[in-house]
Amino acid sequence: MSKEMALDGVSYFGYYENNQLIGVGLANYDGRRGWINRLAVHPDYRGKNIAGELIAEAEKFLKSKGAVVLAALIEDINEPSMTCFEKAGFVCEKSWLYFCKRSSPEA
């Protein structure tokens, strides 16, 4: 993780309340596309637009790097995340398929 954090196109974001980390996100710029990954908010703090604020900060970072497309991968069972990104102006592109090659089933 420390290697990734040292990269110029990567930034981590945290949301704190009373010195307690309650929300996190990762932004990664690949040279064209800006990815928002690993966005999470503690269950006790959901519904307070914390995820929206984290998305906005990630967007600022990614646009400052030159991202012309902003993207996020969300599992089809994660309705709260889909709703959150839709509220932030993201559109679900259902015509895309995600292909991957994993080094192990846990990867």
Please name which of 96, 91, 37 lies closest in space to residue 62, comparing C-alpha atoms. Answer: 37
- pLDDT of 37 reads 92
* CATH code assigned at 20: 3.40.630.30
**Does residue 58 fall inside a structural domain?**
yes
Q: Would you say residue 1 has pLDDT above 80?
A: no
For the stretch 19-67, pLDDT in tens is 999 999 999 999 999 999 999 999 999 999 999 999 999 999 999 999 9
Can you give the three-state secondary structure of 28-79, one letter per residue?
EECCCEEEEEEEEECHHHCCCCHHHHHHHHHHHHHHHHCCCEEECCCCCCCH
Does 106 map to a domain? no
Averaged pLDDT, 58-84:
95
Q: What is the model's pLDDT at position 61?
A: 97
Residue 11 has a pLDDT of: 95
Q: Assess if residue 76 is contained within a domain.
A: yes
Residue 96 resides in a domain: no
Total of domains in the chain: 1
Q: How confident is the model at residue 106 (pLDDT cuts 50, 70, 90)?
A: confident
Q: Please check whether residue 25 lies inside any domain of the structure.
A: yes
Q: Is residue 74 part of a domain?
A: yes
Domain that holds residue 77: 2-87
* Residue 103 located in a structural domain: no
Note the pLDDT tens digit of each residue in 2-15: 888 888 899 999 99
* Residue 50 within any structural domain of the chain: yes
Among 55, 19, 14, CA closest to 35: 55
